[in-house]
Structure 1
Amino acid sequence: MKPLSERSARFTDSVIRRMTRVANKYGAVNLSQGFPDFDPPREITDRLAEVAKTGPHQYAITWGAQNFREALARKQKHFSGLDYDPDKEIVVTCGSTEAMMAAMLSVTNPGDKVAIFSPFYENYGADTILSGADPIYIPLMPPDFHFDPEKLEDALRQGAKALILCNPSNPCGKVFTLEEMTTIADIIKKYDAYVITDEVYEHILYAPHKHIYMAALPGMRERTITCNSLSKTYSITGWRLGYVLASPEITNRVKKVHDFLTVGAAAPLMEAAVVGLNFGDDYYEGLQAHYTHMKELFVGGLQNLGFRFTDPQGAYYVMLDVSEFDVKDDYKFSEWMAREVGVAAVPGSSFFHEDVHHFVRFHFAKEDETLNAALNRLESLREKANAAQGVDWR
């Protein structure tokens, strides 16, 4: 038989989703794939129950239901100060995963180059390859994950057409400062490039850190393609409601790509989610307080156990440093930890272009009971790891 596509051979399946299957196999506490174990806001689910009886149940407009796009435009104006035309500058997608893919296919041609900060969410590398582009990785340096502007500029000198920017960052929890964002913007403008942002954690921040919208910086509105979703903000990761915000010229391209990728997002879910988009500031203040509590509980527990880890500024991930266990293969270590300790994490090397194997990523979007159960199990990690003989991760 003729060979299959080369591009689909250049990346693996999702390691994050794979670790959920490992967690299920061993009955481990799943702190790998980033979804909460608590319910969405009651107002949204109550509205969904109504919609189940009354509709809509058929296709919405391909690029998103009118009332959903209008509510989204109002929310974006409130938080970023930017006016987006709901008819010309917004495309509703099947999650931010599709939003990113549609943006990449709209901006890049085969053979183009795309700059990506490393560590990075695993989809970015695959999206670049599927688009026919070549990634250029720029290291974010632990423990604060700062970057060297010269290395970013060098990626643009090499011809990078766009930069993918996740802020707040998955997996490291970095929140880029105004100074850093301005530096990025200046370099992007200098080389006439684009920024494709992933802002799904925009409302999950820890004081004193603030979210800066790249599109709101001087001269960046027309060259920023904002990708986002409702998944994390409203605890509805399974609803797969994402969106792209961009200038009309870019949005016209995104609409076409989106149409032939997925046709459109689920009409009943858009209708129900409008309730969330209309929430007032008290909801977002409560959300931040809730995540701050979860972070303090889990990070405090890791600290009490004497582990080394990165302290997130935003999002809901912690990178645990496992170098004390002489880990050479973090994939096998993560599976061993799920099986023997009963806690599932994501091997850190799946996020790094560099040869990094001494991190595993936990997420803490969980109820207190779940986090306490994980911490109780992690009490045995050091003893079991140090006692392990003949393991295949050393």
Structure 2
Amino acid sequence: MNAPAHTLNRFLAEAKPSATYKVMDRVAARRAAGARIISLSAGEPDFDTPAHVCEAGIAAIRAGHTRYTQVAGLRALREAIAAKFQRENELDVDWRNTLVCSGGKQVIFNALAATLNEGDEVVVPAPYWVSYPEIVQLCGGKAITVTCGAESGFKLTPDALRASITPHTRWLILNSPSNPSGAVYSRAELQALAEVLLVHPQVLVLSDDIYEHLIFDGIEFFTLAQVEPRLRERVLTMNGVSKAYAMTGWRIGFGTGPSWLIEAMEKLQGQQTSGACTISQHAALAALTGPQDSIEQGRAVFQRRRDMVVELLNQAPGLHCEVPQGAFYVFASCEAWLGKTTRAGTKLNSDEDVVNALLDEANVATVHGSAFGLGPYIRIAYALDDASLRQACEAIKRFGQALAD
């Protein structure tokens, strides 16, 4: 039974549930009914967490590290996070200017909840991660989506940014490498955006770098605060251990930014979840300070999978995808499929229709691009073993071949 509208917070009432999790729920229901589904919907590595990281978690339990930590996180972990930002991103970070959260999503939520007032605007380039505009909505702000199509490499241009900023603009969200497109901003592209931002001192920037280590073809990674030091007092740089170290379920994200913002986020977290899981923090410490060879191994695997999936999908009639530069997603245009009818008689009027038909008729789960703010596309996560990926791509190809006008 649906709750009466007046019993819910109005910002929550107007927010949408995660499209990704809705697809995952459908997959679970189909599997429970006996169907064999290949899911290309989940955004998480299929590798095991590195053994030394798991052992650190086990050791923490055995040592009795099962109690609360400080709200902002273990000092040793915060020092390791500061060292990571110094070593990998050329950011002069003091451990006091870091915050440990229960996943990267909480870093984003804390930042926006701590700063947004009703009427404040947040510029969100589309395609975007599905949760960005919904978190803005939940925090009382207004997401201003800026369409960034294939012609711009799915990236925000300086002209588009300039046109989107108003006196009400409070934040810009940048995600590189991008979920869902895999786009990566170069140093020159970030510098061009920075020149626009320098003219608008009221605009804060949330740099979501969670896919930092999943970048291909020898492309170098840069983050905004590194490229333009004059913006450092306005940038929250967010990262975590989930993607680089295959630790999605450990739920550890972290960020660094100006002291006033980190303090406000800590204050909010102290009344919300308090410190992140103690055991997970000890494991994250081991991830950041221990052997790093698993990162390069995972990156090489994902690049090989990317090449295979792009090649196979571009063989499907009516489907087209650019070559992503990072992350582990392919963002494939299905525009040529709209208006056609599937073998089972389903008329495809939208990319969501395409996704539903692929699941129902081809037993392959994907996510519709319109949920990421740009359709008609489908997002395909290639975080799966090679055999399953090849089988899924062949099923998608047969699906496309069977479509009728």
Distance 2:223 2:215 in 1: 14
Q: Which stretch has the larger CA shift, 88-97 or 43-52? A: 43-52
Work out which of the residue numbers 319, 342, 355 in structure 2 matches 1:334: 355
Q: How far apart, CA to CA, are the structure 2 residues paired with 1:61 and 1:369?
A: 45
Aligned match of 2:179 in 164, 170, 178? 170
Is 1:310 aligned to residue 322 of structure 2?
A: yes
2:184 and 2:88 map into 1 onto residues whose CA distance is 17
Is the CA contact (8 Å cut-off) linking 1:171 and 1:319 kept in structure 2? yes
- The alpha carbon displacement at 1:5 in A equals 2.4
Please show how residues 327-366 of structure 1 align to structure 2 within 5 Å: 327-352=348-373, 356-366=374-384
- Identify unmatched segments of 5+ residues in structure 2: 31-35, 339-347
Matches within 5 A, 1:227-238: 227-238=238-249
**What percentage of residue pairs aligned between the two structures are identical?**
26
Aligned to 2:28: 24
State the distance in 2 between where 1:96 and 1:357 align: 26
SS in 1 for 2:314: helix
Tell me, in whole angstroms, the C-alpha distance in 2 between the residues paired with 1:183 and 1:134.
Answer: 25
| Corresponding position of 1:244 | 255
1:45 to 54, 58, 70: 54
Tell whether 2:264 aligns with 1:253: yes
Moved more, 300-309 or 29-38: 300-309
Match of 1:13 in 2: 17
User: Which residues of 2 match residues 100-249 of structure 1 at below 5 A?
Assistant: 100-143=108-151, 144-192=153-201, 193-216=203-226, 217-249=228-260
Asked if 1 retains the 8 angstrom alpha-carbon contact of 2:170 and 2:204, the reply is yes
TM superposition shift of 1:3: 4.3
Q: Is the 8 A contact 2:157 2:193 kept in 1?
A: no
Runs of 4+ in structure 1 off by over 6 angstroms are: none
CA distance in 2, matches of 1:227, 1:62: 17
Q: Distance in 2 between matches of 1:48 and 1:35?
A: 20
Q: What amino acid does structure 2 have at the position aligned with 1:278? A: T
Select between 288-297 and 172-181 the one with higher mean Cα deviation.
Answer: 288-297
* Displacement of 1:185: 1.2
**TM superposition shift of 1:304:** 4.0
Distance of 1:286 and 1:260 partners within structure 2: 40
Separation in 2, partners of 1:82, 1:277? 16
Q: Higher RCO, 1 or 2 (CA under 8 Å, sep at least 6)?
A: 1
Q: Deviations over 1:130-181 (max 9, x none)?
A: 1111121222121522434222112223431210111111111110121221
Pair 178,58 (structure 1): closer, same or farther in 2 beyond 3 Å? same
Describe the shift of the 1:285–1:3 C-alpha distance in structure 2 as closer, same or farther (beyond 3 A). closer
Separation in 2, partners of 1:245, 1:104: 14
Q: How far, CA to CA, are the matches of 1:201 and 1:56 in structure 2? A: 29
Q: For residue 264 of structure 1, give the secondary structure of its aligned residue in structure 2.
A: coil
1:259-301 CA-to-partner distances (Å, cap 9, x unmatched) read 2221121001111221110145544333322221221222222
Shift of 1:385: 3.3
Aligned pair 1:272/2:283, yes or no? yes
Report the equivalent of 1:320.
332
CA distance in 1, matches of 2:15, 2:402: 33
3-state secondary structure, aligned to 2:325: coil
SS across alignment from 2:104 = helix
> For 1:245 and 1:117, how far apart are their aligned partners in 2?
22
Contact 1:29 1:374 in 2 (8 A): yes
The Cα of 1:332 is off from its aligned counterpart by 2.8
Aligned residues: 383
Instruction: Tell me how far apart the structure 1 counterparts of residues 150 and 234 of structure 2 sit (CA, whole Å).
Output: 29
TM-score scaled by structure 1? 0.92
1:76 is matched with: 85
Kept in 1: contact 2:334–2:378 (CA 8 A): yes
CA RMSD of aligned residues (A): 1.8
Distance 1:375 1:15 in 2: 22
CA distance 1:215–1:280, change in 2 (3 Å): farther
In structure 2, relative to structure 1, the CA distance for the partners of 1:84 and 1:218 (3 Å cut) is closer
* Among candidates 259, 278, 302, match of residue 291 of structure 1: 302
TM-score (norm 2): 0.90
Alignment check: 8 A CA contact 1:22 1:335 kept: no
Aligned equivalent of 2:72, options 63, 68, 73: 63
**Structure 1, gaps ≥5 residues long:** 388-394
Give the counterpart letter for 2:361 in structure 1.
E
| Contact 1:28–1:339 (Cα < 8 Å) also in 2 | no
Taking a change above 3 Å as real, the CA distance of residues 368 and 202 of structure 1, as seen in their structure-2 partners, is same
SS in structure 1 at match of 2:394: helix
CA contact under 8 A between 2:114 and 2:268: conserved in structure 1?
yes
Q: Matched residues in 2 for 1:147 and 1:195: separation? A: 13
Distance 2:270 2:244 in 1: 25
